[in-house]
Amino acid sequence: MNSSIEIHVLKFGGTSMNDHQTWKKVLEIISEYEYPIVVVSATARTTRQLVQAGKLASSGDLEDALKISNEISVRHKAIVHSFLEENPSDRKDLIWESCIKKVDEKVHKLNKLLSYAAKEGALSPQMNDAIMSIGEQISSYLLAQCGLAAGLLTQHVDARKLIMTDNRYGNANPNLMLINQKCGSLETMMEDGFTPVIGGFYGESAEGNISTLGFEGSDYTASLIGAAVHAKTIEIWTDVSGVYTSDPRYIPDARPLEELSYFDATEMAYFGAKVLHPSTLKPAQERNIPVSVKNMFKPEEPGTRIIRDSKGDPEVLAMAFKPGITILTISAYETLMGYDFLTRVFEVLKKYRLPVDAVNTTEASVTIALSNSEILDRISNDFIEIGTVQIISDKGLISLIGCRISEAAEISKKVLNSLNGQSIDLISFSKEKRILNLVLDEDKLVESAQKIHEKIFNT
């Protein structure tokens, strides 16, 4: 890429794409940059509606599925109409006609997919990706058109022309070499004075079909593109002022972090922090590109900067928590002990590509905590060949991230004292990752997280 221009990749999430007023704020932020590349999510609620429509259609309820499709169409047209009314343009009629045509085209495609799903009585991962990506396909095109109405030279670019993936539909792996080649076209576009606007989350598989990068994968798209064009920064614009010590929706005294390392930010995302997609930071880290998390409603605030090496060294950096955890305890049969037993347990986890949130092991038993999975029964059947299996559901996970290793014992003491004897199902500490994990009853999760945050971060 041409090193003479400083490219900033700006990603705007669903909250930013909520209505015509937030679209105006998004375009105002974009206008402050000389060479921006814009990546957007679907408008708020759209992806979840698309998921629901797909499930309804495949279960035989095509009528209600099509009602959702129509609602999506009406809402997007209303956003464009309101935007054009409040932001007069000489090209208003032309832009309106173009937007209506695009919405009708995409909704017609959606209806065909839903009808096919109803006819088949099933929804393949490939078809599900095609349905779920409709939101980003619509939002990115409409925002680019509204940008023209606001006086910006915004130009829509279909993500299928840039984000090449494998055929693992639903959670596709990007082909970095092809993405790097394809993204060269973006620099030419910017040098000609245009601002690319791209839908996040989806791309094109090796078979030429639409694929997706995993739920809420628009952050990942931004990072992949940022790495490909050697961007100066990748900025994730959301509705909070950075990455917080914990989720501010549930922890009122949580506060934004000034700086994070790539490693700690990735661990936070993995263990439940909602600000970033877990895969987001890998492409940026490989190119050593700073990632900023900023508040679109308060753009003057610095937000959180994510870099290779963070300067801070607090007792604990942050806390994440998530519900929907299941505990499996596998106890070896007498005929299978020690190394062979542990090996076979982890072979099952590898077979199903299941990440483990926390684990305790002995020679004769393994206790693992993992997010609830639809394939839990199949996993259990495999484990029964190894040993007896006990399953406990309705649990929650609390993770203290970035623990100062020298004070791990003191941190554990503070955590246990804050819970006043409350039952804990599993506790584990990873010295390498500097993470203390606790598994406890799901109905006590938020209350316990609040108590721990008060004890650790406010004393």
* pLDDT at residue 4, rounded to an integer: 67
In a domain, 305, yes or no: no
Residue where a domain stops, chosen among 209, 238, 267: 238
Q: Tens digits of per-residue pLDDT, 399-456?
A: 999 998 888 888 999 998 899 878 899 998 888 889 999 999 999 999 999 999 999 9
Euclidean distance between CA atoms 269 and 278, whole angstroms: 5
Same domain, 219 and 340: no
Whether residue 191 lies inside any domain: the answer is yes
Q: What is the DSSP letter of 256?
A: B
Which parts of the chain register pLDDT below 70?
A: 1-4, 274-275, 335-338, 372-374, 459
Among 215, 238, 261, the domain-final residue is: 238
Question: For residue 109, which phi and psi values (nearest 5 degrees)?
Answer: -65, -45
Same domain, 158 and 40: yes
Range of the domain at 322: 318-457
Amino acid at 326: T
| pLDDT attached to residue 201 | 96
pLDDT given for residue 372 in this prediction: 67
335 falls within a domain: yes
Q: What CATH number is associated with residue 351?
A: 3.30.2130.10
Q: How far apart are CA 198 and CA 109, in angstroms?
A: 19
228-245: burial string, b at 16+ Cβ within 10 Å, e else: bbbbebbbbbbebbbbbb
Q: State how beta strands 318-332 and 365-371 pair.
A: antiparallel
The model's pLDDT over 332-347, given as tens digits with 9 standing for 90+, comes to 987 666 678 888 888 9
Residue 344 belongs to some domain of the structure: yes
Question: Looking at residue 303, what is its pLDDT?
Answer: 94
Assess whether 197 and 339 both reside in one domain. Answer: no
Residues 346, 313: Cα–Cα separation, whole Å: 34
Per-residue model confidence (pLDDT) at position 3? 53
> Do 12 and 157 have their domain in common?
yes
Residues 114-145 have pLDDT tens digits of: 999 999 999 999 999 999 999 999 999 999 99
Count of structural domains within the chain = 2
Answer for the pair 69, 111: CB distance below 8 angstroms, yes or no: yes
Cβ atoms within 10 Å of 225's Cβ, excluding its own: 29
